[in-house]
């Protein structure tokens, strides 16, 4: 579970995130929408411990990120917009390496099963990452998250630059992870995907979480109007 209590980040006199209260429980997918500079990435970076809050607290599974920056890394997986992996290693080797860093020792067959569960096609498993598309790299990122058995998943712009099929694959995998009890927070500009995949949607403006809706309570058109009225 992810929780923010009055989480605030100020740069000089600029408030990038203002008093954020947010809770994402196991099995929920919370999508953060908002224009450029609204504070979405700041929120994610505060949960990751990449940034120190000016005030307030971020918690991962009840553990304070600021107090236990190393421990929380065992509980979460993070997939940035551009997944950073080793181009000279294969998909399977990258997964083996990053799983080992997290303390998991999988054999060749298990690594293949993890890659398959993330939706990567079999023929790519033993090809070098250098030849992968963005969507394929993202699937290795998702396989790493599954391999780490992370109960919290943070995603920044996960569908940007993906073709519609890759985006749809992404939605399906994320939904499965969520149904298996992962708490997921994603920053996105993709209103359509947010509506499709998220259980809850928050709209941010200038560092403030202005509106939160349950995805099941709103149509895609209503969400778009609410977004345009809010930002």
The string of DSSP letters for the chain reads -EEEEEEEEEETTEEEEEEEEEEE-TT-EEEEEE-TTSSHHHHHHHHHTSS--SEEEEEETTEETTT-TTGGGGTEEEE-SS----TTSBHHHHHHHHHHHTT----HHHHHHHHHHTT--GGGTTSBGGG--HHHHHHHHHHHHHHTT-SEEEEESTTTT--HHHHHHHHHHHHHHHHTT-EEEEE-S-HHHHHHH-SEEEEEETTEEEEEEEGGGS-HHHHHHHHHHH-
Q: Indicate which single residue of 22, 28, 30, 42 sits in contact with ligand ATP (rule: CB under 6 A).
A: 42
Binding test (CB under 6 A) with ligand ATP, winner from 11, 50, 86, 97: 11
Mark the segment that binds ligand ATP (CB under 6 A) among 29-37, 129-137, 168-176, 220-228: 29-37
Q: How many residues bind ligand ATP (CB under 6 A)?
A: 12
Give 27 or 37: the residue with its C-beta nearer to ligand ATP: 37
Return the residue of 2, 34, 152, 203 that touches ligand ATP, per CB under 6 A. 34
CB 171 to ligand ATP: min, Å: 20
Report if residue 14 touches ligand ATP, rule: CB under 6 A: yes
Give min distance, CB of 186 to ligand ATP, in A.
Answer: 12
Site for ligand ATP in 144-163 (CB under 6 A): none
Residues in contact with ligand ATP by CB under 6 A are 11, 14, 16, 34, 36-42, 187
């Amino acid at each position: 579970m992810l929780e923010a209590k009055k989480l605030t980040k100020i740069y000089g006199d600029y408030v990038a995130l203002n008093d954020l209260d947010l809770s994402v429980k196991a099995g929920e997918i919370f999508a953060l929408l908002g224009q450029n500079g609204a504070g979405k990435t700041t929120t994610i970076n505060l949960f990751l411990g990449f940034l120190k809050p000016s005030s307030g607290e971020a918690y991962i599974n009840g553990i304070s990120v600021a107090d236990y920056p190393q421990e929380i890394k065992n509980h979460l997986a993070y997939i940035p917009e551009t997944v950073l992996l080793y181009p000279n290693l294969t998909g399977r080797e990258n997964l083996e390496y990053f799983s080992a860093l997290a303390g998991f020792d999988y054999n060749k067959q298990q690594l293949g099963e993890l890659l398959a569960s993330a939706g990567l096609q079999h023929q790519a498993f033993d090809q070098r990452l250098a030849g992968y598309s963005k969507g394929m790299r993202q699937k290795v990122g998702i396989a790493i998250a599954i391999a780490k058995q992370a109960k919290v998943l943070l995603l920044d712009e996960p569908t940007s630059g993906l073709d519609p099929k890759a985006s749809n694959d992404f939605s399906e995998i994320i939904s499965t992870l969520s149904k298996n009890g992962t708490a997921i927070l994603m920053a996105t500009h993709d209103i359509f995907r947010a509506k499709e995949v998220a259980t809850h949607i928050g709209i941010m403006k200038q560092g403030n979480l202005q509106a939160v809706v349950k995805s099941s309570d709103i149509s895609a058109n209503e969400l778009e109007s609410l977004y345009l009225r809010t930002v």
